Structure 1
Amino acid sequence: MTSDDLIAIALGMPGTRESAHFGKRDFRVGEKIFMSLPQAGRAVLKLTPGQQAMVVETDPGLCAPVPGGWGAKGWTSLYFDSADDERVRDLIGTAWRNVAPKALVTATMN
């Protein structure tokens, strides 16, 4: 999977817009960031701490907590270069659902 693939997936999520955070590309629903691209081959996703623990345990080479306090809040590095496309799509969708307004999430699930 490439950065362009990731960007297309993120922008395909309802209500998403591209912006920047500390000079790095990010993807938001409203003002809430669900994914950023801090460097080549790595994205950062907004997971819950429980989701993060599960994905790190099941796919240790795919994901890792972001160092420091942000990682403790669920922010998770995703190393996507050689990742399974469906798994990456699922994780981006999870991050989007974590920050999107509940009405928007409900509307997209119907």
Structure 2
Amino acid sequence: MGCCRAAPALRSACTAAVAICLLPVIVSLLLIWLPPLSFAVAVVRFHRRRRRMMTTKRGGCCFRGGDEWSPPESEPEGHRVALLHKYLEEQMELVEADAGDAMAAVLAGNPWAA
């Protein structure tokens, strides 16, 4: 009867010994494959972001920058967008002028300013 009870204990002891022996191998394989997997994930994310940026450029974004901006005539609210853009440009000019006047007033009031 003792023999039947010893078999499961022996089996679990052998399984534990094999797991302990394989642990360094498994950890080393994980550490070897971690950098290439991280690089692959980074490449996939870069390609997705680049593809998304390319589709938004083709789709026609209104934030193109530069002075050659013109509203699309095909849009029903193109006129409203153009007016908003002109208004914002004028406001920026006013802010720049006010900032220059304020800086001149500060420098004029400062006796150490050269």
Q: TM-score, normalised by structure 2?
A: 0.17
Looking at both structures, which has the greater relative contact order when contacts are Cα pairs under 8 Å and sequence separation is at least 6? 1
Higher helix share: 2
Q: TM-score, normalised by structure 1?
A: 0.18
Higher strand share: 1
